[in-house]
A and B are shown apart, each in its own frame.
Chain A
């Protein structure tokens, strides 16, 4: 139905997504282009790197959403990265709602004038475009966080993802994989029990105890805030859309008046048209600066939670190894192997704890700076739009009052 070819440059990245990427320039990744076809989006991933591993210094490949997910899952399943926060996977591109609305509009409503129809179509197309840009941005920021992380950027799968010219044959999870995913979720809930303290595991570290309680509550609340921010944004959008038929009706009224109300109605029609555009911008700014930011940190905080229970699992393993060692010692059987195992578990646990601590502190500073940036920008934009609205309202008032 819709072929949307988009030149996506760096500027178009919704800035709520840009995290503090202090990485060096030895590996730069961006999505330079994107095409929306019937039911899939094709992203052109462009890499610039002077790393010796790559064959060229600049190259690109075409990837689809499922390949991003494969990459994310590969990181999650990798034991080496158990102590790190894995950047959250980008959400699946979803144009369903937008497509449906465009279709309904196309089916036509005879009571709508041609101008109204044109405006509504324009609005829906803009909406479609906005969703498109957002999905590109989210896929891009995922890659960029990986590229910026000192450990994650060196992953072999990452290189394959960036460089391998053919498709990775991971599209469409087969039944076994789907089942595997289902099982993984069950295991996850068991881990959730760990993290919520129901398993009776004793946390020895104050820092992690605090982080655990904090993240549990924070994640729930930020998810709530995100959902409600979405609703606010949608209401603003609704309001903006309401101005379309109002403006059209005022135009018609003005056109058929022969008295002084003619100019009044026509000016009012113009005013509502302008207010509509401003209200639309308020909606989209709230979407980008507030909703999207909250959504991103909801996912990021989930990734942090995942890290915490990976660590707790390691702690559980460590405790179990201790118990096994004690048992071996009392029975005086296989003591050596028990000792080895216990040592391994201990090392693993300590390794995880150290890196998790660093990761969680990074998460906090990332979060704070992102919130700061977005809240400032939100306030500035709201002010800008309110001032613009006031101006056009005042101008219209002057014009109306000035008439005889």
Chain B
């Protein structure tokens, strides 16, 4: 019924000017007032304006109120507004396409759009953003911990099991606090599933920690030395950060696979994550193919924002890599300093033993003790250097690779759309040629076929365009979120790291202050 009615014109008669329509309130109010005045307006004219404006601002709980009293028109409008799944989005962004006829609020509001405009969906974007803001603010409360690495099994089949503990007040989970045991390949499996679902539509899926054949072999073989404990700790911390980043993503948090990973006690083994498995090799081949394709896609970038951002991320990547290399050198040298300090402490102690002047001997022993404590300090600082500073940088280097991947998917999406357009053009040309040719009996069947094909490709072109616009929109949002997170992340870690440096210096002061009187006591 709504489809028959001509959508009411806007009060001010300026259909293409969307800047004024930023505020949903104005939008619905003006529409309602127009309805009231127009002779063909339906019952809703009797509805008070406030109701509708209130509803338009508060998308979430309004379904029931409107459904009962009102016209299909508004009922459908509200339905569209209640956003709860990503699948809905393609519908919302369809307004620019002239062929789309479903009555969406966008069609309601902007009936006469000739030019392609992306800003009408902005209203709904903001509504969704409002939901997410709320999600982030009040009810976004989930804490993940990865702990207690435990070796399971023996020999080359052994693996490390980690305890994943979740503390949350979110209603989507059955309990407030729960934990499960997971192994490294489970994490990789989770990432693989999330990536396959969300990467190609433009979501920045946090990458999982890297595999390390050498590291794991040492652990399997059972070497209980410090390098394998360090390896396990490094991995544990990386897995924790990975999960924390993943649950921070509002869309990924909703994913059932993630929930299953966190909650269910038994998880089907992710076998396709082994480096040398068939699936693994297939992945490598695909990656190589992708790389080649990327080089040959020449996209007509109509949106400078994307070009700018890609350049920005490229620069950021380079700089982070440089910084990361320098910080790794710092970690290495600080560990050396710690070892050298320990060695010196021992020789100072020996010297103190040899020294036959009593007071000097005692002072030298004290010096040895101080140096030993300082060695400990350097070791702890080296850990801080690594786990706070260095790992943050390496995490972001891999995250940016994921961001670049998302931009690449957009290019592929564009390519698909472009290819569809080219095919459509060819089909149309074929049809045109057929029209001109002079074979009446054969032609009718061929004409029908071609007509069908043309329709099929027209749909594909439309879908391609929709997909492209969707992914572009998603990327814009994702990049915005990513940048916000990045700023927060870096600031937090930088502050923590500096505080660790302050701690070290304060301890140094303590130690030297305790030594000074000993030195002065030498008589």
Contacts and interface: CB of A to CB of B under 8 A. Distances in A.
Interface of A: 111, 210, 214, 217-218, 221-222, 224-225, 228-229, 231-232, 234-236, 238-239, 242-243, 245-246, 249-250, 252-253, 256, 259-261, 264, 268, 271, 275, 364, 367-368, 371-372, 375-376, 378-380, 382-383, 386-387, 389-390, 393-394, 396-397, 400-401, 403
A260 B486 CA distance: 10
B494 interface: yes
Nearest to B486: A261
A375 B505 contact: no
B498 A400 contact: yes
Interface of B: 312, 315-316, 319-320, 322-323, 325-327, 329-330, 333-334, 336-337, 340-341, 343-344, 347-348, 350-351, 353-357, 359-360, 363-364, 367, 483, 486-487, 490-491, 494-495, 498-499, 501-502, 505-506, 508-509, 512-513, 515-516, 519-520, 522
A390 B506 contact: yes
A378 to B, nearest CB: 8
25 contacts: A217-B354, A218-B351, A221-B351, A221-B353, A225-B344, A225-B348, A228-B340, A235-B333, A242-B329, A245-B325, A245-B326, A246-B323, A249-B319, A249-B322, A364-B356, A367-B357, A375-B367, A375-B519, A379-B519, A383-B512, A383-B513, A386-B506, A386-B508, A390-B505, A400-B491
B336 A218 contact: no
A268 B493 CA distance: 12
A136 B356 CA distance: 32
B340 to A, nearest CB: 4
A403 B505 CA distance: 24
Q: Is chain A's binding surface mostly helix, strand, loop or mixed? A: helix
A236 B337 contact: yes
Given A232-B344, A239-B330, A264-B494, A253 B356 contact: no
Given A245-B325, A259-B487, A261-B487, 12 more contacts: A214-B354, A222-B351, A232-B344, A235-B336, A239-B337, A250-B323, A252-B322, A253-B319, A253-B320, A264-B491, A375-B367, A396-B498
Closest 5 CB pairs of A and B: A235-B337, A249-B323, A375-B519, A372-B522, A228-B344
Contacts of A217: 354
A31 to B, nearest CB: 30
Nearest to B495: A400
Contacts of B490: 261, 264
A225 B520 CA distance: 21
Contact of B516 (A210, A214, A234, A380): A380
B343 A383 contact: no
B340 A235 contact: yes
Contact of B344 (A229, A260, A393, A403): A229
A378 B516 CA distance: 9
A229 B341 CA distance: 8
Contacts of B329: 242, 245
Contact of B341 (A232, A260, A401): A232
Given A228-B340, A371-B360, A383-B509, A401 B519 contact: no
A238 B367 contact: no
A239 B348 CA distance: 23
B326 A242 contact: yes
Given A221-B351, A228-B340, A232-B341, A379 B502 contact: no
B467 to A, nearest CB: 30
Contact of A225 (B315, B325, B347): B347
Given A235-B336, A242-B326, A390-B505, A260 B487 contact: yes
